[in-house]
Structure 1
Amino acid sequence: MNLLESMQVYVLIVDKGSLSAAAAAMDISATMAGKHLRALEARLGMQLLSRTTRRQHMTPFGEDYYRRCREILCLVEETDAQAQHQRLAPAGTLRISAPVIFGTHALVPALADYMVRYPDVRVEATLTDRVVDLAEEGFEAALRIGTLADSSERVARALTPYRLMMCASPAYLDRHGTPHTLQALAGHQCLSFEPGALAQWLQADAGELDRAPDGRLQINNGEALRSAALHGMGIILQSNLLLAADVDAGRLVQLFPDQGQVGRPMHVVYAHDRYHSTRLRSFLDFLVERFPPAAAPLAGGKPA
């Protein structure tokens, strides 16, 4: 049987969730689809799918073979297009992940230009502050904020640093006073994303803090922290993207505006594979063009 066709059937079985759905997508009979799967397993001498009467799932070998099949089929598709003298342009589905605030306020507006430039690319963007696993979750690229952990499994390209500003509402400052040093933050309600986050971010600017800034409220969402600050609940350190409009409108007051070094490194990471699609390469180049890296390193922090 044709090896590439069998690979395509296997990928569709996984993507569609059943052998019959893959057969329909290939316009072949379910019996023929089953023959392709059995031929693959016989050729490899390994089981790809563990099947019961009610469900199926990939074996550990089947998961690795599935990823390799997708890469091979994509490469064959692009090579065929080139051989037929067609325009070899970025095409297909690009799956990416980005932090919520940056994704909402910076990446999505940039994607409007990217998708005009590359009309054959379909983008699936997942906005989450969780660090995703590129291989396990099927992402071609992910944007990360903070110092990256060493990894031999992925490559990183630096982007524009993620700038932060510290703000509080006029009402909060009227009640509690305005801090004039970073050390004075210990006497204020400092709203944070996670325990110790504010102290970690400010360590490079304030040195050893006499007492770590803290507060009675922690929320794992930037928009919710902004809302808390607008309601006078305390001081926040969040993205310029999120707070600049509130500062301009007078709803929030920026504290320590001269602390320009308060920021975090930002990178786009992708798997260290032998082959990368033209759509991934186009996206990486576009990001570096739109969000060029800074010359000097910034304070670190936990990746987002």
Structure 2
Amino acid sequence: MDQLAALRALRRVVELGSFTAAAEALGLSHTAVSRQIKQLEAHLGAQLLNRTTRRFALTDAGKQYYEASRQILDALDDADRAVTAQQARPSGTLRINAPMAFGTLELAAWLSAFMAQYPELTVDLVCNDRIVDLIEDSFDVALRLTRGLPDSTLIARRLADSPLLLAASPAYLKQHGAPRTPAELARHNCLVYTQAQHPRIWTFRSPGGGEESVNVQGNLQANTSVALRAAALAGLGIISAASFIVHEDVQRGALTALLPDYPQRPRELYARYPQSRHQSPKVRAFIDFATAHYRGRGWA
């Protein structure tokens, strides 16, 4: 008896729910699969399956043996994949989800370098500011800017800190004045990013090391920072945004940075991907490239 083949047959029968489906998946006949299970039972001296004409069920001994054998088979598959994956070149289509502003202003700046390194890979980049279900929407990896992650079965790799900048246009400041403390933001028109965890609560670190939170108000809220940046440039109000979104506007004088002595706690950039014992080469390559890109790097 080939015990390993019998273990694989048992697993297929249990997972697929029938001898016929297991036989088809293994490329064997129904009789061959049935014979392997019977030989395994004879070898163990225990019945693993209770059979009827229409269905089967694992016996208590079968349940115990199935769980133990499944772990053994997983370990063997992991060992095979680990060796094979080291030799495999990333290929196929890599589906990436990213926030609109990050995808268009930041990720786009280095994605071409990643693709040049892996020419056999095709990238499908989808940018939006809603939280997607990676598995249901068939994404391989998502990039997230957040403060803390919810409990999830997804794997999360922290890549970098993303500082926030508070800014407004010179025209707005000329008309309304510049806030000198966070508390003064309460009387200003603040542009609110609705995808933040607490959109209207802006929190600052004071020079003394404490924190100060302000409940802000404004006449524009949006689920994309791209729209808020355009509004800030047009003089509508004050924006709190990731520095990669507005730092070039600040450098060229289109926006003025505010409250430099009261920094906001940065968001964190994460790469998230479905949990799997067999991480595909394309996902691993992207995560490794992003990690190397942001290692020790801050944003302006």
The TM-score, its normalising length taken from structure 2, stands at: 0.66
1:261-280 pair list within 5 angstroms: 261-280=264-283
1:36-185 pair list within 5 angstroms: 43=21, 88-146=88-146, 147-151=148-152, 153-185=153-185
SS of equivalent residue, structure 1 residue 137 = coil
Structure 2 vs 1, CA of residues 242 and 134 (structure 1 numbering), >3 Å: closer, same or farther?
same
Q: Distance in 1 between matches of 2:21 and 2:247?
A: 60
SS of equivalent residue, structure 2 residue 162 = strand
Q: CA deviation at 1:178?
A: 0.8
Identical pairs, percent: 38
Which residue matches 2:47?
none
- 206, 211, 232: which one pairs with 1:207? 211
Which residue matches 1:254?
257
Partner amino acid for 1:207? E
Q: Structure 1 stretches (4+) deviating beyond 6 angstroms?
A: none
SS of equivalent residue, structure 2 residue 180 = coil
Q: CA deviation at 1:200?
A: 3.4
| Structure with the higher strand share, 1 or 2 | 2
Q: Distance in 2 between matches of 1:275 and 1:186?
A: 51
Structure 2 vs 1, CA of residues 293 and 133 (structure 1 numbering), >3 Å: closer, same or farther?
farther
Q: CA deviation at 1:261?
A: 4.7
- Structure 2 residue runs of 5 or longer lacking an equivalent are 1-17, 24-76
Partner amino acid for 2:185? L
1:290-301 pair list within 5 angstroms: 290-292=293-295
Structure 1 residue 191 and structure 2 residue 195: aligned?
no
Q: Which sits farther off after the overlay, 241-250 or 169-178?
A: 241-250
Q: Deviations over 1:20-75 (max 9, x none)?
A: xxxxxxxxxxxxxxxxxxxx995269xxxxxxxxxxxxxxxxxxxxxxxxxxxxx9
Structure 2 vs 1, CA of residues 115 and 41 (structure 1 numbering), >3 Å: closer, same or farther?
farther
Structure 2 vs 1, CA of residues 208 and 120 (structure 1 numbering), >3 Å: closer, same or farther?
same
Q: Deviations over 1:84-121 (max 9, x none)?
A: xxx62111111111111111111122111111111111
Q: Distance in 1 between matches of 2:155 and 2:163?
A: 23
Q: CA deviation at 1:236?
A: 0.5
Q: CA deviation at 1:150?
A: 1.4
Structure with larger Rg? 2
- Structure 1 residue runs of 5 or longer lacking an equivalent are 1-39, 46-74, 296-304
Residue pair 2:205, 2:262 contacting (<8 A) in 1 also: no
The TM-score, its normalising length taken from structure 1, stands at: 0.65
Q: CA deviation at 1:220?
A: 2.0
Residue pair 1:161, 1:293 contacting (<8 A) in 2 also: no
- State the Cα RMSD in Å: 3.1
SS of equivalent residue, structure 1 residue 136 = coil
Q: Distance in 2 between matches of 1:266 and 1:258?
A: 24
Q: Distance in 2 between matches of 1:282 and 1:230?
A: 38
